[in-house]
Amino acid sequence: MDIRAEVLTIGDEILWGQIVDSNSAFMCAELTKIGVRTVCKTSVGDSKYAVTDALQAALTRAEIVLITGGLGPTKDDITKKTLADFFNATLVEHPQAWDNLQQMFARRGRVINELNRAQALLPDKATYIPNDKGTAPGMLFTTPTGQLVVSMPGVPFEMKHMLLAYVVPKIKEAFTTPIIVHRFLQTVGIPEAELALRLEAWEDALPSHIKLAYLPSRGRVKLRLTGTGAQATLLKQDLEHEAAKAIPVLGKYLFSHQDQELEQYLTDLFVAQNLTLAAAESCTGGAFAQRVTAWPGAGSWFNGSAVVYTREAKIQLGVRPDIIDEQGIVSEACARAMAIAAKAFYGADYAVACTGVAGPGLPTDTPPVGTIHIACAGPGGAVVHQQLALLQDRAINIDLTVINMLNMVRLQIENA
Amino acid sequence: MDIRAEVLTIGDEILWGQIVDSNSAFMCAELTKIGVRTVCKTSVGDSKYAVTDALQAALTRAEIVLITGGLGPTKDDITKKTLADFFNATLVEHPQAWDNLQQMFARRGRVINELNRAQALLPDKATYIPNDKGTAPGMLFTTPTGQLVVSMPGVPFEMKHMLLAYVVPKIKEAFTTPIIVHRFLQTVGIPEAELALRLEAWEDALPSHIKLAYLPSRGRVKLRLTGTGAQATLLKQDLEHEAAKAIPVLGKYLFSHQDQELEQYLTDLFVAQNLTLAAAESCTGGAFAQRVTAWPGAGSWFNGSAVVYTREAKIQLGVRPDIIDEQGIVSEACARAMAIAAKAFYGADYAVACTGVAGPGLPTDTPPVGTIHIACAGPGGAVVHQQLALLQDRAINIDLTVINMLNMVRLQIENA
């Protein structure tokens, strides 16, 4: 009863290694969500022969084939012509596509030339799929045996919108996809292996219609419980029942029940409690502030961050020179002083700071690469500190330090 | 005479959409560099049948098949067993692999169990490829018709090192790859379409053994001239000769002749001239500092950045309240004042600043989303300013502002 899909991405630039194909991962993830199993993913160049060959192979293995790319006006529309030939169809101007094209160009104040107008041509055996974000329409074909072949543009935000708004509903219409409900448990600060050990008994006792996935990213592990069944309300109850058993085991490592990032969780926490945050960053070099402000709305709770890379900049922020001279620039005392200084400079309720050796460096470095001190100053003069012993890699060390800083702020507020 | 390759990545997590497969783009790019053409890229799950099927298909189309993934101890070594069966080979312990494994575990202070020891087993028809960065060795098979099948681990930094250190040399040994020389011209601040128009005549007149590629990234276009021939010295002369004709056309948009990022170029520039830089960031929220400090050695020329998200933080840094109240927080005057204040706070030779509306927002916003002012203060009180009119997307606006700030600093120094 498995519904199988294949993903086919088209473009010479993919095979030249000029771009990383992130489209196919998005499509696979969305298919997984609705209970469709991707069995193969293929990328071929802008060649009619290669596309036909790949499509033919895909149709021997799957009920659904999702294609992206090769629809631009400058690419000689290789995908559209190839699909028209494959399905024995003729290209004709589609009124709705032509309408959408005119509106798109009018909005951008541009004139349509013949090359552009050709984008409104569609194979007469295709169902038109609107492109609300661009000029190349999508196409859906149904084979005599009921397989679906869908062609979408390669521009990521056009494809993503089209997939979610039109293609997923069409798949659900054509196939009986199972009802799938997800429940998330987001953890931070505990390695995947340790987590798996703690949860082993619970995982083994899960009923057969509920599956657990460990989705690790740097410093965090997202647990996804997926329930499959016939009735959404019952599934949700089952998932809550199972999640409730895991929550006490996860303890302080659990930060959220939503599918969200740690910094999104912090945003909600600070906004709800009407608090403000600031930072002083040495070894993370602005990466903490960058991550927090990547989400809209940071202005209402994040006052700012002083990136103080040099000794002088730390002193200018308010760290006493004797602390640096006597305890060292990479020290608990310096991290604490930076947090206190940033809290005062930015007038914030909380301020978090870091100082350390991100690397790369020599094995003889003192302190060694990966030694990082973080501290957080909160209301009433409370300052917490933690020393991290990280790795040799600069980018990973910066990233892990940011995660640890975010988590330190969370714990200090939740324990307040 | 084309040498064709296929890339095969193995892993259920790729097909579930849990990870973006960046390995294959890296492999394709490295193959392109040595004149090998990738004709197809396939991802399949951890299934013996799927891997065998994909490998069989690949060998009908290509001389070289590069495989990654499925080599970990927890995955039941699906790739290794499958390849052993495919090539009618027996798994035996390889002395060098066993040696390497023991050394790896000793360095990490860990004990080897039986599951780990199995990683030293190799098909007896495979050539051992050392893994200097991890525990799963690579394997190379040669088919009776001289095709190469190479299996590498899926961990990106292990694969990358193995590919460059061992696999590329083996490909060059087995096939007569053409001699390929690249010449880069890095531009910033000019759209790809405008650049293409300016370079049209030059590109059309390029000799047939020299190809031009436009490699665009946000705000920048990397031009890559690729010369193919039999003699490296002559090729280099030809490339210099052609590049020299383009340089005057590129003018101030050309920032580097190396394959490097704009911030790497700035690092070299500041270090060579013994100068220091600081920043004051509002709408970029630390992204400028983050990008500059992502590269090692920033400590010697980058003093820091004041991320001043709020009105109060800007005033605390040194911006006069009346400037904000009379001209607005998003204004030329505020950007200039921020640059001057950051220069003083950090005691730097140059300081660059930004203030603007990154978005998302409403169409009725005043000033509209995408309005961003940047300014750079240099020696002797010189301050330059630029107003940007960017897009609706927050992440893109932040990224483009950072690029424009980097470029503003470059131009101010080069014009000094």
Say yes or no: B112 contacts chain A, CB-CB below 8 A.
Answer: no
Chain A CB contacts of B286 below 8 Å? 281, 286-290, 292-293, 305, 307
Which of B:123-182 have CB within 8 Å of A? none
Tens digits of residue pLDDT in B168-224: 999 999 999 888 899 999 999 998 888 988 999 999 999 999 999 888 888 999 999
Tens digits of residue pLDDT in A212-234: 988 888 899 999 999 998 899 99
pTM: predicted TM-score of the whole model, two decimal places: 0.86
Cα dihedral across residues B145, B146, B147, B149: positive or negative: positive
Say yes or no: A32 contacts chain B, CB-CB below 8 A.
Answer: yes
Q: Which pLDDT score, from 0 to 100, does residue A374 have? A: 98
With contact defined as beta carbons under 8 Å apart, do A243 and A185 qualify? yes
User: Alpha-carbon dihedral of residues B61, B63, B69, B73, nearest 10 degrees?
Assistant: 120
Say yes or no: B344 contacts chain A, CB-CB below 8 A.
Answer: no
The tokens describing B377, both together, are 């203060």
ipTM: 0.85
Whether residues B304 and A307 touch (CB distance < 8 A) is answered with yes
| DSSP-based helix, strand, coil % in chain B, nearest 5 | 45, 25, 30
Chain B CB contacts of A224 below 8 Å? none
Say yes or no: B270 contacts chain A, CB-CB below 8 A.
Answer: no
To the nearest whole Å, the CA of A9 is away from the closest chain B CA by 9
Say yes or no: B307 contacts chain A, CB-CB below 8 A.
Answer: yes
Q: Which pLDDT score, from 0 to 100, does residue B1 have? A: 56
What is the helix (H) or strand (E) element at residue A39, kind and residue range? Answer: strand A36-44
Chain B CB contacts of A296 below 8 Å? 359-360, 394
With contact defined as beta carbons under 8 Å apart, do B54 and A57 qualify? no
Q: Which pLDDT score, from 0 to 100, does residue A13 have? A: 85
Chain B CB contacts of A286 below 8 Å? 281, 286-290, 292-293, 305, 307
Q: How far is the CA of B357 from the CAs of A372, B73, B338, B394, B412, in angstroms?
A: 34, 50, 16, 9, 24
Is residue A115 over pLDDT 90?
no
Q: Strand A254-256's sheet: what is its strand order?
A: A210-217, A220-229, A179-188, A254-256
A17, A44, A45: residue with CB nearest B26 = A17
To the nearest whole Å, the CA of A5 is away from the closest chain B CA by 10
Say yes or no: A27 contacts chain B, CB-CB below 8 A.
Answer: yes
Q: Which residues of chain B have pLDDT under 70?
A: 1, 72-77, 363
Q: Which pLDDT score, from 0 to 100, does residue B363 have? A: 67
Say yes or no: A232 contacts chain B, CB-CB below 8 A.
Answer: no
Phi-psi region of B146 (alpha: psi -120 to 50; beta: other; left: phi over 0): left
Q: How far is the CA of A167 from the CAs of A30, A67, A131, in angstroms?
A: 11, 11, 11
Tens digits of residue pLDDT in A336-351: 999 999 999 999 999 9
Which of B:373-402 have CB within 8 Å of A? 394-395, 398
Q: Which pLDDT score, from 0 to 100, does residue A215 have? A: 83
B20, B25, B304: residue with CB nearest A308 = B304
Tens digits of residue pLDDT in A64-88: 999 998 876 655 568 999 999 999 9
Pick the residue from chain A with its C-alpha nearest to B318.
A345
Pick the residue from chain A with its C-alpha nearest to B29.
A17
Q: What is the rounded distance in angstroms from the CA atom of residue A187 to the CA atom of residue A196? A: 12
Whether residues B15 and A310 touch (CB distance < 8 A) is answered with no
Whether residues A290 and B293 touch (CB distance < 8 A) is answered with no
Q: What is the rounded distance in angstroms from the CA atom of residue A142 to the CA atom of residue A325? A: 74
Chain B CB contacts of A310 below 8 Å? 299, 303-304, 346
Chosen from B15, B222, B282 to mutate, greatest number of chain A CBs within 10 A = B15
Whether residues A15 and B41 touch (CB distance < 8 A) is answered with yes
Q: Which pLDDT score, from 0 to 100, does residue A73 have? A: 64
Say yes or no: A40 contacts chain B, CB-CB below 8 A.
Answer: yes
The tokens describing B320, both together, are 């006069």
Tens digits of residue pLDDT in A258-269: 999 999 999 999
Is residue A242 over pLDDT 60?
yes
Whether residues A296 and B394 touch (CB distance < 8 A) is answered with yes
Please state the three-class secondary structure of B211-242 as a single string. EEEEEEECCEEEEEEEEEECCHHHHHHHHHHH
Say yes or no: A359 contacts chain B, CB-CB below 8 A.
Answer: yes
Chain A CB contacts of B43 below 8 Å? 24, 40-42
Residue pairs between chains A and B whose CB atoms are closer than 8 Å: 215
Say yes or no: B197 contacts chain A, CB-CB below 8 A.
Answer: no
Whether residues B15 and A302 touch (CB distance < 8 A) is answered with no
The tokens describing A391, both together, are 């790795």
